[in-house]
Structure formats: structure tokens, C-alpha cells
Structure 1
Amino acid sequence: MGHVGITKWDYSEVNDKYRLGVFIGESKKNKYLLKFGMRIYDDSCINLPRRAKLSWNWSALFGGVLWMGYRKMYIELAVLSTLFMLPNLIFSNISDTQDTLMTALYWLVLGLLANSLYFAKCKREITRIKKLNLSLYDELEVLKHKGGTSVAGIFISILILIIEIAIYAIAHLYLI
């Protein structure tokens, strides 16, 4: 299967910016390049910046962990969910008001940092896949497969949440 805009035999235009677009997926590529602070039509910008500019992500704010699962950010999802759950496990006397404020803060921070977290994941995966020394065609196919979106990822994120809720419930029943 070829890649949009280039044939199997013409890969002279492939750079890390192109790889990033393949990893993100064709339909949302331009949106995320802009969110990451990159110019879409500037071909002089071929390397990825060290980190993405800080930008807002409404999908992450309202979708939260479901957005992370959809974007295949499973490790980030597990880490952030655990970090969110820890204060409730450590401090058993948190009031409902404090819990609500912590939850709102968590969602706001996720909305603010989501694009940066996603960019870091994209960059990490691109670097890892480039080190495999595949042919360029195969490299782009792997990027396309590892990146993009996943409806199954939404269900994986729900499963991770169920596991963490079970851990939280067990901890409150037996440890607190």
C-alpha cells in the first residue's frame, strides 16, 4: 500500500516531519502539526522540534483517558491515571469538595498537556522505528500501523480504568 503523495519508488521527500504525519494519520495530520507548533507547508522545516509548543486540546479535556486510548497512548494513560489515583489512596480523609477540585484540575492539566504528551510519544516512536533500520517503505508502514487511532484503544482505556477503580476499591476496603 503506497503513501499519499508519493509512490513506492519516490521517497526523496521523506523526512521526520513526513514521518510524523504518517504516524499521526492523514486525516488529522495538519491539525496536529499546527498544534505542535510546526508549519504545514514550510518544507524547510524537516526536523522535529525538541518539544511541542503548549496548546489546548478540547478532545483530551472532555474525552480524557478515552482520547488517550484512541490515540494509542496506553503507557501515558496508565501513568497519569495512577498519579491521579494516588492522592486518594494516600490521603483517605479527602473531602468531596477537595476530590472534585482535584478532578477538575486533573482534566484541565490533561487538556493543556495532551498535545505535548502526544508529540513526545510520536517523536519517541519515530526514533525507535528509525533505529530498526528497515527499508523506508517498511518503516512508513510500521509508523502507520503503530500510530494513528484505534477504536479498540478506547476499550483498552476503559479496561485500564476498571482495573484502577478495582484497586482503589480494594485498597479502601482492606487497607484504609
Structure 2
Amino acid sequence: MDSNVETPSETEAPDLLKAFVGEYKESYYFGKWAKNERRSWNWAAFFATLFWLGYRKMYKHVLVILLFLLIADVVHYLVGASTAQFDLYINIGIAAVLGIWGNFEYKKFAQKEINKLEKRFSGDELLEKVRKRGDSSWKGFWLTLLLIFGYAGISVVFESVVHSFTEVESNAELTTYTDEDYGISFDYPVIWNDSVEISYGTWENDSEETIDFYYLNHSKEIEQYVFSIIIYDEVLEESYWENSDEIYLTNDSNKTYTLAIAGEANEEMHDPLNQEDVDIVSNMIRELEFVVDSFRLE
């Protein structure tokens, strides 16, 4: 056979790859692939990440990444760690990987899909199937958005399930706070003892005393007010509760006992590096139901 005569596969392969990429981006990707390097920068892949994958119909890649994120979320929920900082780092990592290796991965994906089609079709039909399987797709973009919403929804469900189990566990590990001067008691999670400081004051107008609970992280010098038990030296009328954010606990013939929850976080808590502390305080606020349900007069 004449060595100058090319086989059909040799003549068709570049044309098929061009058909797969699409005319609009043909020069861009073939320019990146011309150097035959694994690494070449792709700004669209870096900024759009999963949406770029969906736009280029790389749906399996989207699913694999979302599955990885979901598994990571579940692990974080189980160990009680914050996911916010992890999500930040992993998203930066995904963006960097796609930005650097996205072009190479897209070529691998294209060649793999073309090889599948070559086993089933030939000639003009093959070319048409390649064009249809490749190119870009706004439907893929919107499908990716739906998949992300699905991932977020499933992650929230897992968080709720894990929280319900940890809540039961916390319910079995309670300790009791007692104030002998006022003859009141309530239960709270034992784990609070590691990070809570109690002080006394009269910060609320017209109150006889407040018992204030603060979250402390000595290593970061964080002090965040969480809640207070407010003691009024009178039985409050019903009209008081119409414009009050306090939670009614109980009263006797002379006093009324209420609970007030922190309205805002300290400046330190807005630092992303302190997200774990924010999560701890948020859990404490959710667990205030133990305080409310168990509050009693001795």
C-alpha cells in the first residue's frame, strides 16, 4: 500500500474532534491542544467550574464532584465540624484544577465519546452524531444548576438527620444549673461546661437580676453573649408580651422569669476563620429548648 495514502481513521479523527468541539470554539481549543501539554489555562473553567462542565456536556464530571462534596458534607456533619471553611477551600481547589487541567480533560472526554460513536456509526451519520453529542449546551448549564440545587437539598436533609441524632444524644447528657437565691433550676447540655461563662447583672430595665450566659474561646479571645435568664420582681401583665422578644418561662406570686436570646453576633464572629465558633453558638441557641422545657421553681 502506498505510504502516502492515509487511512480513513487518520483523516477523520481531526475532523471528528473539530465537529465535537463546535465551530465557535474550534480555534480556541485546538490552539490549546496544539502544544500537546496536559496543563493550559482556561478562564471559563476556572470561574464557571461546574457550569462550564455542564455547558460542555461533561455531566459525569459534574455528578462525581457533587457526590464528593456530599460525602464530605456528611462526614463533617457526623464529626460536628464546620463545613463553611472546608467548602471555601474545596471550591477554590476545584476552580484551580479545572482552570489548569480543564482543556486536557475536555479533550480526553471528547476523544472517549468519539470512540464510542465510531463503534456504532460511520460516514456522514457518524459526523452528525459527533456534532450532536459534542458542542456546547445551555441546557447542560441549566441542568447543572438543578443538580447543584439537588445536592444542596440532599445535604440539608442529611444535616437535619444528623442533627436529630446528635440532639437525642445531647438530651441524654444534661446537667442542671441551680440558683439557690431565687430557687430556680434548669437543664442544659453538659458540653456547654467547656465553653460557657455565667455572670450576673441587671442589664434589662426593670429587672431584678439577669443570669447571663457567654460563649468563650480563650485561645481566640472570643466572648459572645448567648442568652440570659431575666428575673422581674413582679408578675408581668399579658400586654408586656405583645411587644417583647423574650420567652416566657414561668412565674410565681411575686416574680416573672423570662429568657432573652442574643440578637446579634460580635465583630469577631463575622470573621470566616471563626466559623466553627459561630456554629457552636448556633448549636447552643438551638439547644435552648432544653432550658425552656426544663425550667422550674424549686
Q: Considering the TM-score relative to the shorter chain, is it more than 0.5?
A: yes
Consecutive unaligned residues of structure 1, counting only runs of 5 or more, are 1-10, 40-48
Contact 1:71 1:150 in 2 (8 A): yes
Q: Does 1:157 align with 2:157?
A: no
Q: Which amino acid aligns with 2:30?
A: L
Instruction: Give the Cα–Cα distance (whole angstroms) in 2 for the partners of residues 113 and 101 of structure 1.
Output: 18
Contact 1:72 1:153 in 2 (8 A): yes
The 3-state SS of whatever aligns with 1:15 is helix
Query: Partner of 1:135 in structure 2?
Result: 122
The 3-state SS of whatever aligns with 2:70 is helix
Query: Partner of 1:63 in structure 2?
Result: 48
Q: CA RMSD in A?
A: 2.1
Query: Partner of 2:29 in structure 1?
Result: 32
Contact 2:32 2:40 in 1 (8 A): yes
Displacement of 1:137 after TM fit? 0.6
Contact 1:66 1:157 in 2 (8 A): yes
Displacement of 1:163 after TM fit? 0.9
Instruction: Give the Cα–Cα distance (whole angstroms) in 2 for the partners of residues 164 and 91 of structure 1.
Output: 15
Instruction: Give the Cα–Cα distance (whole angstroms) in 2 for the partners of residues 116 and 73 of structure 1.
Output: 13
Instruction: Give the Cα–Cα distance (whole angstroms) in 1 for the partners of residues 150 and 63 of structure 2.
Output: 10
Instruction: Give the Cα–Cα distance (whole angstroms) in 2 for the partners of residues 73 and 87 of structure 1.
Output: 22
Consecutive unaligned residues of structure 2, counting only runs of 5 or more, are 1-7, 164-298
Q: Does 1:21 align with 2:18?
A: yes
Q: Which amino acid aligns with 1:122?
A: A
Instruction: Give the structure with the larger strand fraction.
Output: 2
Q: Does 1:114 align with 2:114?
A: no
TM-score (norm 1): 0.78
Query: Partner of 1:169 in structure 2?
Result: 156
Contact 1:35 1:53 in 2 (8 A): no
Contact 1:84 1:106 in 2 (8 A): no
Instruction: Give the structure with the larger helix fraction.
Output: 1
Give a deviation string over 1:108-127, Cα, whole Å, max 9, x none. Answer: 12222221221111011110
Q: Which amino acid aligns with 1:147?
A: G
Q: What is the number of equivalent residue pairs in this alignment?
A: 153
Q: Which amino acid aligns with 2:100?
A: L
Query: Partner of 2:58 in structure 1?
Result: 73
Contact 2:20 2:110 in 1 (8 A): yes
Displacement of 1:13 after TM fit? 8.4
The structure with the largest alpha-carbon Rg is 2
Q: Which has the higher contact order (CA 8 A, sep 6+)?
A: 1
Q: Which amino acid aligns with 1:161?
A: I
Give a deviation string over 1:66-113, Cα, whole Å, max 9, x none. Answer: 111111111111112222332222123036334322221222122222
